[in-house]
Amino acid sequence: MDITTENVLLIGSLLLLISILAGKTSYKFGVPTLILFLSVGMLAGSEGIGGIHFDDPQLAQFIGIVSLNFILFSGGLDTNWRSIKPVLWHGISLSTLGVLFTALAVGTFVWAITDFTFYEGLLLGSIVSSTDAAAVFSILRSKNLALKANIRPTLELESGSNDPMAYFLTIAFLGLVVNQDKELISILPLFLQQILIGAALGFLFGKLSKIIINRITLDFEGLYPVLAIALMFVTFSATDRLGGNGFLAVYLSGVYLGNRDLIHKKTIIRFYDGLAWLMQIVLFLTLGLLVFPSDIVPILGLGVLVSGFLILVARPLAVWLSLSPFKMKTRRRWYLSWVGLRGAVPIVFATYPLLAGIEKAHMIFNIVFFVSLTSVIVQGTTLSVVAKWLHVALPKKVKKVSPVDAFLNDGTKSLIREITIPPDNFSVGKRIVDLHFPRKAIIAMISRNGKFLTPNGTTQIEADDTLVILVEDKQSVESVYESLQLHPDPDFGEED
C-alpha cells in the first residue's frame, strides 16, 4: 500500500492509535513504549502485515529534525536548573568528551574488524555516539526510578545536551568520507563555530523569547504555546543559518525559559509535553516504516558485535574517561555506563549518509538501526534491575495524592498565607509574572473589593489586594515576603 494524500490521515491516525494502545500495556511486560512504536511501524511497513511502502530518507530526516526540536525543547523546559547545577560539569563532560570517546572507540573497532575505511568507521561511531533524549526521558520517567545522589539529573542533562555533539561529529566525518583529501584537523574550526554560535544564540534567543512571551498580549491563552513553537523554530533555523548548532540552541533556549517566570508557563509546558510524546511516536513510526527487516538479516553478526562493544566497552570507557576529573562512587559510574540508551536520534543521523550517497550508506543505516533497537531492548528493560544490583536505587514511597494537590500540580503545599498589599508597595500595578515568586509558592486567589479572583501571570496587583498564597515550606514563605518587599508576618512561625 502506498501512502497517498487520500489515505494518509486514515493510515496515520490508525497507526497512532495502535501505538498508544500498545504503549498502554507495554510496561506490564517490561517492554519500553518506544520499542512498541518502532515495532508498529515495522509491522505496518512494506515487509509487514500493513504493506505500506515507504522509502524516502529525505522525508524521514525532515520528520526527524522537526521531532528532535520538540523533544529537545520540551526536555529543556523540564530541566530544573537547581537540580542540574551540582552536576553541570559532569553532564557537560559526558555530553562532549563522552560522545567523542564513544565515537572514537566504536569507529576504531569497526575499522579494525571490517573493510570500512578509518573515516567510515568514525562516521558510524559518531552516529551512535549519543544517548537518546527521547529514550532516556521516557523510560526514566515512566519507570519512575528513584536514584541516589545526582544520578538522575546527570543522565537527563547528558541525554538532553549530547545530541548536538553527535550531530557535529556525524556531519564532520561525513564530510571527510566524501572529501578524502581533507585532514582530520580541518574539523576543529567547524566544531568551535558550531558550539560557540549555538550556545550564544541559544541563550540570546531564550532571553528574546522570554521578553516576547511576557510582553505580547494575546487574546487567547491557547495561542501562547503556538507562539512558543514559532520562537523554537526561529531559534533552530536562524542558528543553523548562521553556522551554529541548531539543536544545541533549541535545548539551551528551552532550559533558559523553563527556569524563568513566563506567562501561562504551565500551559506551555503541558502542551510541549504532549507534543514531545506525539513527536516521539511519529518519529519511531516513521523510522519503523523506513527500515526493511530483510536488510537487517545480513548484518546481524556484525550488528551484534558492534552493539555488544558499544554497550560493554565503548560506553563504560567513555564514562570513566570523561568523569575521571570528578569524585564519584564506582557503582554510580557503572550505572551511568549502563544507561547509555540509543534510540531514534542515531537512526535519524544515519539518514545523512543515505542522502549523501556514500558507498556503505545502507549498511551503516542497517547497523545503526540494529544497534539502537538492541540498546533500548537490552538496557531499557533492565534499568531497574541494574539499579538494584548496584545499590543506587532508592525505595519507592507510596504516596496518595489529594485532589487539591493534583489540581495544583506543583508539589504538596502545606502552608497558607494571606498577605494584604499596602497602597505604597512596589508590586502595585505590576503583573504577577514580574514579581519573581519562588517556584515553591503560588497565588491561589486574590481577594479584591469583596470578590475572589483566580489569577494568572498577566493579572496586575492592585492596592489593598489580599493574596491567598500556598507555599511548600517556611523558607518559601520568607522568599514570598522578599519578592513583595514586605516584612514577614509576626505569626510566621506558627503552623496552619
Q: Quote the Cα angle for 375-274-414, to 5°.
A: 105
Pairing of strands 415-420, 466-471: antiparallel
pLDDT for the residue numbered 103: 95
Q: Quote the distance between the C-alpha of residue 359 and its chain's center.
A: 33
Three cell numbers, residue 266: 504551565
Quote the pTM value: 0.78
For the stretch 6-18, what's the b/e string if a residue is b when 16 or more beta carbons lie within 10 angstroms of its beta carbon?
eeeeebeeebbeb
- Give all domains of the chain, ordered by start, each with its CATH number: 8-389 (1.20.1530.20), 403-484 (3.30.70.1450)
Q: Which pLDDT score is estimated for 494?
A: 46
d(CA 245, CA 239): 6
Distance CA 316, CA 319 (A): 5
**Cβ–Cβ under 8 Å, residues 365 and 354:** yes
In single-letter form, the type of residue at position 399 comes to K
- 10-residue averages of pLDDT along the chain (496 residues): 61 72 55 70 76 81 90 86 87 92 95 93 93 69 68 83 89 88 80 91 94 86 90 95 92 91 85 84 82 86 94 94 90 90 85 89 91 86 84 65 47 68 85 77 83 81 85 76 74 46
How far apart are alpha carbons 190 and 192 in whole angstroms?
A: 6
Q: What is the DSSP letter of 467?
A: E
Distance of alpha carbon 370 from alpha carbon 128, whole angstroms: 11
- Which is it for the CA torsion 233, 236, 237, 242, positive or negative? positive
Residues 6+ apart with CB under 8 A from 53: 1, 2, 3, 45, 46
Residue 166 cell numbers, joined: 553527535
Report the Cα–Cα distance between both ends of the chain, in Å, rounded. 65
Q: Would you state the cell numbers that stand for residue 393, as one nine-digit string?
A: 536505587
Cβ neighbors of 399 (< 8 A, separation 6 or more) are none
CA dist 352 to 133, 170, 234, Å? 19, 8, 23
Of the candidates 317, 306, 433, 321, the one whose C-alpha atom is nearest the C-alpha of residue 374 is 306
